[in-house]
Structure 1
Amino acid sequence: MVALLAACGGGGGGSGGLSLSSGGSGKPEVAAGKTLGADARNGSYRVYAANGTQQQLAVDFDAGSYTMTDNLGLAESGTFSEDFTEPGTYVFASSRITTAANTSRFRVTTDAIVGAFPFQTAYSSPAAYAAQPFIAARDFVTDAALLDSDYNRLGITRNGAGASDSQILSMRVSGTGTTLEICLDNVVYRIALCPATSKRTYTIAADIDSAWVATNIADAADTVRFRMARIGGQNVYLAAGTSPTAPATQLLRIGLPDSSNWPTTRGIGASTTGSWGSNLIDTANSVRTATSTDGTYGTLTMPIGGTFPLPPEGIRTVNSGGANSYFAMQNGLLSVVVGSRNPNTQGYIQINLIDTGTAPNARNGRYKVYATNGTRQTLALNLDSKRYEMTDETGTVASGSFAEDAAEAGSFVFDSSRITSPANTARFRLATDTVVGSFPFAVAQVTPASYGVRPFVASRALVKTQAALDGVYNRLGINLTATTGDSSITQIQIANGGATLYLCNDNGIYRIDNCPAASLRTYTVSAGPTVDTWHIVSVTNPSDNGNFGIARIGGENVYLGAGVSSSTPTISQFRIGLPERSTWPTIAARGGATNGSWGGTSIDAVNYARAQVLPDGTTATLSATLGSMGTIGPLNMRAATFGGTAFHFASQSSKLFAMVGSRNPATAGALEIGLID
């Protein structure tokens, strides 16, 4: 294990001396402390930021306002509000934030704040801003005797050349706060086992503003300026600023008391990649679930290493055998993860405030909605408080509560002032990273706005790697004007590493490999307006274009599209494509339809049956016979005959069932989407 640690060891910067210095230039001189007011959290806090600066944060929870004053005295003020999907997390509003998702937010404990803010990127000129982690405190040790302890210290370094580095080491304060010893070695040793040649010894003296200055007994130019915060009844070592021995270097250092105690914890906080989320750490794994600034959501699980004879007991390796490896420490209130000293991870830090309450429902969060009225929206859910927000493309928010349907386990009913019908058929069901349901959306193309309950599919697991788009999909869709509806039934293929889309545009429904040459349309696929949407353009008719996404639902790709027709703005469109496969299992699903109904659907090899409730309160039972699409048609599609000449066409995946009416005036524009039980 020594060799494994050696590549990640104690040195912190480009040269020995600067790796130990916290810097002292440009520190805010406004005293941190509390403000008399209705909320005990109000007041000013000293900020230690991942861009290597000390700043000052003043917060007023009564007014919902803040001021962040940087190390040069420049202030950024604004408001903050609680994120209802994650109670206890507050979101900074700032003109500096231009990313798709605002991950600048914070959480609070007694006399401390942990979060992310759009700080200036170190040494950027002209100034550029990015969400970066910070830890802030306002209660500091001023009695030298209370400094004594063995500590583990993790940190990062930024320099003017744009390089970053990490530091992982142990240290000791002793002699009633008069002596500091640091183990600076390529191996991470516990301080008691540090080789004599790797140990640096400093004398400690009190400085102004609750700070301390340590001076190397062998090199007076090597100084360490730090504060010791009291957070959760424990000492937390904090240092940030410009190195006195390397003025073009800024750094952040965080130290926690060494301890063999390693509880299972769930921390919430930010990382230097800009992500915000939770990190569940136990003795086996680190599970990071987070939203990035590009709006994508994901989970990363990495193994935790155990304790070894030489390293400190309070530091664990994370993914030590992988290309991206890290070190972690925690004290029951804070968890800190820093990248090892290799090009993939050096300079990375993640700072979390541990949540000691009941873990929230894992399904809470934000989902990207593809609605059958032809719009893309955002659905925010809190399954604990039973609240939702549906935000449309113009920023209009429809919010309210929802309740579980006592008569239909797993279904939740939206409460909305938009619903005026005798029966409320607006509801939803959930699968992993997926919501399927119906909501009172604005009716497509109608002015002034009126509302009707229509189906939707929402995901927070959309594909953002082009090569992962490839597949054959049975695509069902509808085209809506203010007064009419039409249907679209075809098979498509995305191929060539996601670069090409083929579509069979024919009055017959063919498998893509059987499509008549004259009916085969070819589109190029490129990156769309967001990181998880994709743009298609016809190679023969550039006006034929649009955007789509691929959601991962039940371990499979599902094609989703919603928007206004590129060639005819008076038409709104919706598309859903389920993967081609040869199996057709018996299933039961629940979901909505464009007639406003909600119900349960069951299908087997040859039968379709649905029991539904309509908005007017009436109920109906529907049945149909299912037939295959023949030798040239899609394998994962069936023609549903309800009697007469009107057909519907159905397809299914491991988690979704969809059926659309044929292009017949009696059925065109009718669509049903259900989540399979």
Structure 2
Amino acid sequence: MIRVARALLALTVAIGLSACGGSDGSPDLGSDASLAVTNSSPETVNAGETITFTITVTNSGPAAASDVTLVHHLSGAPAIGSITCASTGGAACPAALGESMSLASFPVGGGLVFTIEVPGAADIIGPVTSAMIVEAAADTDHSDNTGESTTIAEDLRNGDYTVYASNGRQYVLTLDFNNKSWAMEGQQVVQAGTFALDANGVDYVIAGASKFRLNSEGLIVGGFDFNLTGSTHIYDHGVRPFVASRTFTTEYAPLVGTNFNLLGINLRRNDSLESVVTPATFGNGVLQVCLAPVPVTVALCPTQALASYTLAVVGTEIRGVDSVHDDAIHFRLARSGSSYILLRSEDAADESGRQFRVGLVDTSGLAGGTFAVSSTRALWGTSTLTDSHYAFSGTATDGTTVNETSELSALTNAGPAGLRRGDRSTDSAPIFVAQNDPLMVMLGVADGAAEGTLDIGLR
């Protein structure tokens, strides 16, 4: 019985030592290393943007690791652009950084942080995955030796845009840049198709003068043939300018004291077009608009021509009621960077037709620049501005080209500082020009040969 007891004791001790890394050729007590990897990156990026993967490798011990190898795998993108390394806790970065790296040793408590930049491409859509695998001779637990992270490259321009069209109606434009497809719906219009980059590599062509430009802030200026089914009104057919956005605000309090110039057209039921320029100013809970036939600032507006709309937010719109003139309006405030843009497309309150307005913040003058322009004349072209000169060059659906210029001058002291007036070189027709980046607007003066002509440009 004593021999049996001693044998059992010896077996128990042997098993205990083996479990602790002791006898029979096992490593010495405390000789195991424990390497771990974590990997992080953004959930999504816009297609074409660089993806940054941050990979951290640590050793929690209790022993240093030797013969360490680190291998990085990338899928969904052709190659990494750059890799950098920072060390902590006495660890040393690999002498050569790349997809496969090695270290002679890795101390307990040490850490390495790898920053891997993966350049994007506009045509790379979908998941991009980074995985780092670390191995060492003394690390027997491989459960945390792989760090993986996936970022989805998607075209953030995709989605629905609210369209304010110069035919006095609103639509929804759905864009899919992955498939280069579009759909326009609303007001009895249901159209869809594909688009392609213009030769300039910036604008997108739907067909002929039906084109659009989209800036980085999600603001669109375009021309489109809405072709309203069943309508007998001339202006419901043919390529017409529009402004679209998906970034709106109902917070108008920051605009108190800000002056706007509302430029647009009234579309009468007899198919005539009226040019309209109405300076406006935001007050506390009101929008004051000067309805004088000649543009006059709100501060100098004749009392009988001044409308005061009491404002209220209804959903995503701002609505105003002027009880004195028995008039009502509704509009949205689009945002593009730091700029506010007032947009209106609606039936006139007196049922005389439809109205379209684009409102730009009044400035001290024209900053100038070059703009892609859609025109009521079914033209798509380019406008260049200075504070004293306007030039336009465009091509119609039938291939006809139009080139015109105008020397510009400021209005009288009663007029808004940001409006300029000139005469077109082609027919001496008087025009107004306004600008507040990223938009510019050219409008034919009322009762002139260019009345109803409206050009909207996006920088």
TM-score normalised by L of structure 1: 0.45
d(CA) in 2 for partners of 1:616, 1:665: 26
Report the Cα offset of residue 507 of structure 1.
2.1
Map of 2:226 onto structure 1: 441
Residue deviations 1:452-491 (CA, integer Å, cap 9, x gap): 1011110111112242454211110101135211111120
Separation in 2, partners of 1:642, 1:673 = 16
Letter in 2 for 1:441: F
Q: In structure 1, how many angstroms separate the alpha carbons of the residues matched to 2:385 and 2:183? A: 33
The residue identity in structure 2 corresponding to 1:465 is E
Structure 2 residue 191 is the aligned partner of structure 1 residue 398: yes
- In the TM superposition, what are the counterparts of 1:363-374 in structure 2 within 5 Å? 363-374=157-168
CA positional deviation for 1:535: 0.7
CA distance in 1, matches of 2:366, 2:453: 22
Deviations 1:389-436 (A, max 9, x none): 111144x42111000012x22110014xxxxxxxx1000111111111
Query: 2:156 maps to what in 1?
Result: 362
Is contact 2:366–2:385 with CA below 8 Å preserved after alignment?
no
Whether 2:349 is the aligned partner of 1:566: answer yes
**How many angstroms apart in 1 are the aligned matches of 2:444 and 2:233?**
28
What is the Cα deviation at residue 606 of structure 1?
1.6
Deviations 1:571-618 (A, max 9, x none): 111000100121422211111110100100111122111111012211
- Report the counterpart of residue 303 of structure 2 in structure 1: 517
Corresponding residue for residue 627 of structure 1: 409
Question: Do the aligned partners of residues 457 and 448 (structure 1) sit closer, same or farther apart at CA in structure 2, a change above 3 Å counting?
Answer: closer
1:648 to 427, 431, 449: 431
Shift of 1:630: 1.9
Q: CA deviation digits over 1:117-168, x for unaligned, max 9? A: xxxxxxxxxxxxxxxxxxxxxxxxxxxxxxxxxxxxxxxxxxxxxxxxxxxx
State which of 591, 595, 610 in structure 1 corresponds to 2:392. Answer: 610
Aligned residue for 2:137? none
Deviations 1:3-61 (A, max 9, x none): xxxxxxxxxxxxxxxxxxxxxxxxxxxxxxxxxxxxxxxxxxxxxxxxxxxxxxxxxxx
Counterparts of 1:338-349 in structure 2, within 5 Å, are none
The answer to whether the Cα contact below 8 Å between 2:41 and 2:149 also exists between their aligned partners in 1 is no
Distance (Å, rounded) in 2 between the aligned partners of 1:512 and 1:574: 20
Contact 1:503 1:512 in 2 (8 A): yes
- Give the corresponding residue for 2:334: 551
| Structure showing greater relative contact order (alpha-carbon pairs closer than 8 Å, 6 or more residues apart) | 2
Secondary structure (helix, strand or coil) at the match of 1:442 reads coil
**Aligned pair 1:264/2:37, yes or no?**
no
Q: Which runs of 5+ in 1 are unaligned?
A: 1-258, 269-279, 285-331, 334-353, 416-423
**Partner of 2:249: helix, strand, or coil?**
coil
Q: Report the residue type matching 2:155 in the other structure.
A: N
Q: 1:283 offset after TM fit, Å?
A: 6.4
Asked if structure 1 preserves the Cα contact closer than 8 Å seen for 2:204 and 2:212, the reply is: yes
Q: 1:526 aligns with which of 283, 287, 312?
A: 312
Which contiguous aligned blocks of 4+ residues in structure 1 show a shift greater than 6 angstroms?
A: 280-284
* Alpha-carbon distance in 1 for matches of 2:52, 2:251: 28
Cα distance, 1:670 vs. partner? 1.1
C-alpha contact 1:445 1:571 (8 A) present in aligned 2: no
Shift in Å, 1:447: 2.8
- Shift in Å, 1:492: 0.3
The 8 Å contact of residues 373 and 443 in structure 1, kept in 2 or not, is answered as: no
- In structure 2, do the counterparts of structure 1 residues 402 and 480 end up closer, same or farther at CA, with 3 Å as the change threshold? same
Residue aligned with 1:389, SS: strand
Out of 242, 249, 260, the position equivalent to 1:473 is 260
Change in Cα spacing, 1:493 to 1:442, as seen in structure 2 (3 Å) is farther
Identity %: 30
Find the counterpart in structure 1 of residue 73 from structure 2.
Answer: none
Change (3 A) 1:630 1:426: same
SS of the equivalent of 1:508 reads coil
The superposition leaves residues 320-378 of structure 1 with CA deviations (integer Å, 9 ceiling, x where unpaired) of xxxxxxxxxxxx89xxxxxxxxxxxxxxxxxxxx9957512221111111110111111
Task: Tell me the SS of whatever aligns to 1:513.
Answer: helix
Q: Does the alignment pair 1:425 with 2:219?
A: no
8 Å CA contact 1:369, 1:377 repeated in 2: yes
CA distance in 2: counterparts of 1:638 and 1:445, whole angstroms: 39
**Residues 440 and 452 of structure 1 are in contact (CA less than 8 Å); yes or no, is this contact kept in structure 2?**
yes
Q: Which residue identity does 2:287 align to in structure 1? A: L
**In the alignment, structure 1 residue 488 sits paired with structure 2 residue 276:** yes
Q: Does 2:203 correspond to 1:411?
A: yes
Q: Is the 8 A contact 2:365 2:419 kept in 1?
A: no
Q: Which amino acid aligns with 2:40?
A: P
The 1:442/1:468 distance shift into structure 2, 3 A limit, reads: farther
SS of 2:253's partner is helix
Q: What residue is the counterpart of 2:126 in the other structure? A: none
User: Over aligned residues, Cα RMSD in angstroms?
Assistant: 2.7
Output the CA distance in 2 between the equivalents of 1:460 and 1:524.
25
The alpha carbon displacement at 1:443 in A equals 5.9
Partner of 1:535: 319
Is 1:666 the counterpart of 2:443 in the alignment?
A: no
- Counterpart of 2:232, as a letter, is T
Aligned partners of 2:44 and 2:152 also within 8 Å:
no
Distance change >3 Å, CA 355–CA 458, structure 1 → 2: farther
- Residue matched to 1:42: none
Point out the structure with max Rg over C-alpha: 2
8 Å contact kept, 2:187–2:228: no
TM-score by length of 2: 0.66
Aligned length: 324
Kindly provide the amino acid, as one letter, of the partner of residue 385 in structure 2.
I
2:371 equivalent to 1:586: no
**1:666 to partner: Cα distance:** 2.2
